[in-house]
Structure 1
Amino acid sequence: MTSPAAPAAERIPEAVHRRRWAILGVLMLSLLIVVLDNSILNVAIKTISTPAPTGLGASQSELEWAINAYTLVFAGLLFSAGLLGDRIGRKKVLLGGLAVFGIGSALAAESGSPAQLIAFRALMALGAAFVMPATLAVLMNVFEREEQPKAIGIWAGGVGLAIAIGPITGGVLLAHFWWGSVFLINVPIVVLAIALMVWLVPDSRDPSPGRIDPVGVVLSVVGLVLLVYGIIKGGELADFTDPVVLSTIGAGLVVLAAFVVFEKRSDHPSIDVTYFKNKVFSAAIAAIALVFFALMGVTFFSVFYTQSVRGYSPLQTGLLMLPLAAAQMIFAPRARLVVDRFGNRATTTAGMLVITATLALFGTLDADTPIWWLEVVFFFMGAGMAHIMTPTSVVIMQALPREKAGSASALSNTFRQVGGALGIAVLGSVLSTSYRNGIEGHLGLLPAGARDAAGESIEATLGVAAKLGARGEGLVGPANDAFLHAMHVTAFWGAGVALIGAVVVAAFLPGRPPAQKEGTEPELVRAES
């Protein structure tokens, strides 16, 4: 596959070009609610895990499904959503996706059980799947090629903004309202985004769009759900040799293999596997998947560390995450300047190594570690992320012609979401297994049924201890110790995955581009077959 140069399409209409920065603002607002929802949920998961009426009494596996129901539906539909936007118009898809997301948010706020929350989170993901790829696709169609890296950098910085305000907003809401308010807050943002989009954003589409691939969509979603379900079940049972676990994981892998074979033979595949013949493109996609595998899995437990072990409130937890968000907001728009100076390979490899180091540092945190040390770790984590997301997003988006922007954006976001979902499933299972193994020896005096439930997570153990009153006080110390050990094990697993990502980008991403002759256009992606 050869990477096309900038397509010789007609120039962007002047009226659209003049309002391109306002359009970018509207696109970032749309992106904001998609990312905001997950970052708000991060500080709310402990509250949702507490028994009614404060929360829903969700178990750790149900919490993982509340997150993964969103990410799996999101990832499974992203590429088809991108193709649909290319076919019928990105603006229409954006408006429809925002409306569905808003309805799902309102329903999730009124959930009466963990099962309902999981179902309504899946509905929210259905809407979000149509929002995310369309934002980048529209961006690529309203900015000329020379401005695209800057615009993508600002777009990526919007993720940092959402990460910053999400936990703080969630903390404020949880301090004054019921847990469902963290979802209801999405509704007014959706209404504002729709109004601004109708007014400002132009429509665009691919003049030669691909056909929708329903078989591919079904195979990818079924395969991912089976795989993730098996991994989560293995962690819940602390036994990956259980026949149900092995058969479910095996079935998921078989279905995903069938998906790959079907896509290779289809004349209208959901994912055009020929894109991956370009090693640069493949390495950028792999970097995104691996970094989100590591980060989503590790940050899943950070909330339990700050709230359950350290005793901070949801609002305080949100404030503690500010350095991570601030670093992304500071460095993401400027990362392109680092790429210009040092090249994609050096910038992204350095970012992956920083992520590896910060995840490893999570393995050193204890119950009495100075909290400023966690702030330093979060800041460098955000800085590392900024120097990964911006250059890899530019590589991916400029690897395909402008009319295929929806496909490129969908691929990027699909692998990010799949990586994140698998990270939560795999590293969450490592956390569950390690925690259960560490706490089981201290649960001998409990009845068999309570013993099994108490061993699932630190929140479950502390919940049982609270019900036992004075008799349960002896469980608090062992629970904290078991959780810290499990967190350390999980952090080192995440660091290992991030290190693999560093090796991949160091081997395959392009170095510093040669100086360009005047009048020629720089190419960030050099195709390799």
Structure 2
Amino acid sequence: MTAAAESPAPAPAPDAADPAAQGQGHPQRWLILGVICLAELVVLLDNTVLTVAIPSLTRELAASTADIQWMINAYALVQSGLLLTAGNAADRYGRRKMLLTGLVLFGIGSVVAGLATTSAQLIAARAGMGVGGALLLTTTLAVAMQIFAPREQARAIGIWAAVNALGFAAGPLIGGVLLNHFWWGSIFLINVPVVLIGLVAVVALVPESKNPRGDRPDLLGALLSTVGMTSLVYAIISGPGHGWSSPTVVAGAGLGLAVLTGFVLWELRIPHPMLDMQFFRDKRFTGAVAGAVLITFGMGGSLFLLTQHLQFVLGYGPLEAGLRTAPLALTVVVLNFSGVSARWTQRLGTPAAVGVGMSMLAVGVTAIALFASDGYTGVLAGLLFIGVGCAIANPAMALAVMSAIPREKAGVGAGINGTLAEFGNGLGVAVLGAVLNSRFAALLGVGAAGSFPAAMAAAGSEESRERVTDAFATGLSTSQFVGAAAVLTGGLLAAYLLSRAERAAAPDPAPAEEGGPRAA
């Protein structure tokens, strides 16, 4: 028996708040989806938009390298650390209420960031935006699960996932356009009209929904999960810069693991846990968790490597490299907005969709590893395969996570989904980056410079520079192969566990009564 089946039956939610529970979607569900996707988009844009403003910030705010790192990381660090807590708050206090709160916090943070006059002010504003971003990312997915009937959830989550890809690709491009015409603060103030539109639309359209059981708040669990995840993500973010054996990274990782262990022990002993550990007894949930971590591990790490390949090996500038990764996001957007990926998922079933999607993603990463050094044609082919794979696998994986959790815990489910994505992405960048550095150093020999720019600066001849470039390209290919293997392994494992869970949950066919009528 699965954990979902073992848990007590939830009390019914009000009909108006949860029309999907009666098999009907909200009458304005597609308009509401557009509203929450708009809120989601501004959050995702701010994950990447700041990267193009680094020269301006360095010049106009006299920002140091450490300041720039904190401007970028404060947002991701706070957001990833609070996702689970934000989802739990949405379930308890109301998803519409937390969606509005998230928009207000994000809007205020955007204004403060846009008008900041010092690095410290901008870092603090980015942290505040991270709080709002955590609330928005969890509530948007939770609301989508509430307003759509099960038969439409696959397409709705597909569109939600496509907005993720669109935000990833569009951030640097929108930032570049704004910086060409305005000062650096415009990349934050552009959020304000979007937030105002979102507030009006949420008040007018989005129905309130929350956990009707009203579990008592798990304050210690919220504190432990936030501190643990923040510490662990900080260690992953800091590893490439400080070194994986540095005291800062070791202390952060050790604190994170210790606190998260305490979180698990605490959740097992209290009657109303923030994260019910019984979920992990459900093979649908464990399969989706394993797949989600490994797909973001391979995807995040491989794209991190690809941007370096395009710039250092193929010689493109930052904006040119960003434009050349856009086909991936465009493929995801087209397939999900058109409903094609949802139809494939429905025909294949969730286990097969996850397996097929992640296998195609692995093929795309492998193609980049094999052919990227020959020019952009090989990269483009790989990006298209990755895009198709993501369009199929990502929504199916998110649907598997959300479907394995009771409806009244939709916020927690969204928090888990977001936390897995953040953790897998950070781990992919860290591990595949370490593989790259190790292979690069081994090929260049003892005493070689530790990074590609440093090694090129130290190269004294054209022959030496070619040797450095070849060594870096080989290191990139090796790392991409590791990422492809992780994605393929995750796809096969997730498909197997999800398939087993579906077979276990399927009702046994009723035996024909002895002597009863037989089919002709």
> TM-score, normalised to structure 1's length?
0.80
Match of 1:275 among 261, 274, 279: 279
How many Å separate the matches in 1 of 2:77 and 2:293? Answer: 14
1:359 is the counterpart of 2:398: no
How many Å separate the matches in 2 of 1:137 and 1:372? Answer: 40
Structure 1 residues 69 and 52, CA gap change in structure 2 (3 angstroms)? closer
Match of 2:300 among 280, 296, 301: 296
Aligned counterpart, 2:513: none
**Alignment partner of 1:380: what SS?**
helix
Aligned counterpart, 2:347: 341
Q: Is this contact kept in 2: 1:351–1:388, CA < 8 A? A: yes
Aligned counterpart, 1:406: 411
How many Å separate the matches in 2 of 1:115 and 1:436? Answer: 37
Query: Which amino acid is 1:293 matched to?
Result: F
Q: Provide Cα deviations, 1:422-463, integer angstroms capped at 9, x if missing partner.
A: 3233334444555566678687xxxxxxxxxxx56446677x
Identity of aligned residues (%): 37
Q: Provide Cα deviations, 1:163-188, integer angstroms capped at 9, x if missing partner.
A: 44334323423444555544443333
Aligned counterpart, 1:448: none
> CA RMSD, aligned part only?
3.8
Match of 1:493 among 478, 482, 495: 482
Match of 1:421 among 418, 426, 438: 426
The equivalences for 1:137-148 within 5 A come to: 137-148=142-153
The equivalences for 1:209-358 within 5 A come to: 209-231=214-236, 234-236=239-241, 240=244, 245-246=249-250, 248-332=252-336, 333-358=339-364
Structure 1 residues 161 and 232, CA gap change in structure 2 (3 angstroms)? closer
The equivalences for 1:98-177 within 5 A come to: 98-109=103-114, 119-177=124-182
How many Å separate the matches in 1 of 2:220 and 2:434? Answer: 30
Q: Provide Cα deviations, 1:133-183, integer angstroms capped at 9, x if missing partner.
A: 111222222223333233222322333333443343234234445555444
**Alignment partner of 2:370: what SS?**
coil
Q: Is this contact kept in 1: 2:231–2:256, CA < 8 A? A: yes
Structure 1 residues 52 and 404, CA gap change in structure 2 (3 angstroms)? closer
Deviation for aligned residue 1:292: 1.1
Structure 1 residues 298 and 187, CA gap change in structure 2 (3 angstroms)? farther
How many Å separate the matches in 1 of 2:453 and 2:64? Answer: 10
Aligned counterpart, 1:527: none
Deviation for aligned residue 1:497: 2.1
How many Å separate the matches in 2 of 1:313 and 1:362? Answer: 19
Query: Which amino acid is 1:360 matched to?
Result: T
Q: Which moved more, 1:12-21 or 1:500-509?
A: 12-21
Q: Is this contact kept in 1: 2:300–2:425, CA < 8 A? A: yes
How many Å separate the matches in 1 of 2:196 and 2:142? Answer: 21
**Alignment partner of 2:59: what SS?**
coil
**Alignment partner of 1:170: what SS?**
helix
Structure 1 residues 10 and 184, CA gap change in structure 2 (3 angstroms)? closer
1:194 is the counterpart of 2:199: yes
How many Å separate the matches in 2 of 1:337 and 1:475? Answer: 53
The equivalences for 1:54-65 within 5 A come to: none
Match of 1:503 among 474, 480, 492: 492
Q: Is this contact kept in 2: 1:105–1:124, CA < 8 A? A: yes
> TM-score, normalised to structure 2's length?
0.81
Aligned counterpart, 1:19: 28
Structure 1 residues 232 and 25, CA gap change in structure 2 (3 angstroms)? closer
Q: Which runs of 5+ in 1 are unaligned?
A: 444-454, 518-529
Aligned counterpart, 1:3: 4
Structure 1 residues 320 and 343, CA gap change in structure 2 (3 angstroms)? same
Deviation for aligned residue 1:413: 1.6
Aligned counterpart, 1:30: 39
Q: Which runs of 5+ in 2 are unaligned?
A: 508-520
How many Å separate the matches in 2 of 1:49 and 1:380? Answer: 34
Q: Is this contact kept in 2: 1:222–1:252, CA < 8 A? A: yes
Match of 1:48 among 45, 54, 57: 54
Q: Is this contact kept in 2: 1:231–1:429, CA < 8 A? A: no
Deviation for aligned residue 1:249: 3.3
Q: Is this contact kept in 2: 1:174–1:314, CA < 8 A? A: no
Structure 1 residues 335 and 69, CA gap change in structure 2 (3 angstroms)? same
How many Å separate the matches in 2 of 1:49 and 1:379? Answer: 32
The equivalences for 1:74-89 within 5 A come to: 74-89=79-94
Deviation for aligned residue 1:126: 1.0
Structure 1 residues 477 and 136, CA gap change in structure 2 (3 angstroms)? same
Structure 1 residues 222 and 488, CA gap change in structure 2 (3 angstroms)? farther
Structure 1 residues 262 and 232, CA gap change in structure 2 (3 angstroms)? same
Structure 1 residues 207 and 434, CA gap change in structure 2 (3 angstroms)? same
Deviation for aligned residue 1:253: 2.4
Q: Provide Cα deviations, 1:447-492, integer angstroms capped at 9, x if missing partner.
A: xxxxxxxx56446677xx5xx9x98999865664454344233323
Q: Is this contact kept in 2: 1:283–1:505, CA < 8 A? A: yes
**Alignment partner of 1:17: what SS?**
coil
Q: Which moved more, 1:472-481 or 1:240-249?
A: 472-481
Query: Which amino acid is 2:136 matched to?
Result: V
Query: Which amino acid is 1:3 matched to?
Result: A
How many Å separate the matches in 2 of 1:225 and 1:70? Answer: 11
Q: Provide Cα deviations, 1:362-393, integer angstroms capped at 9, x if missing partner.
A: 323555x3213212211211111111122222
Aligned counterpart, 2:378: 373
Structure 1 residues 245 and 90, CA gap change in structure 2 (3 angstroms)? closer
Deviation for aligned residue 1:494: 1.9
Deviation for aligned residue 1:83: 1.9
Query: Which amino acid is 2:33 matched to?
Result: L
Query: Which amino acid is 1:282 matched to?
Result: T
How many Å separate the matches in 2 of 1:51 and 1:478? Answer: 35
Aligned counterpart, 2:514: none
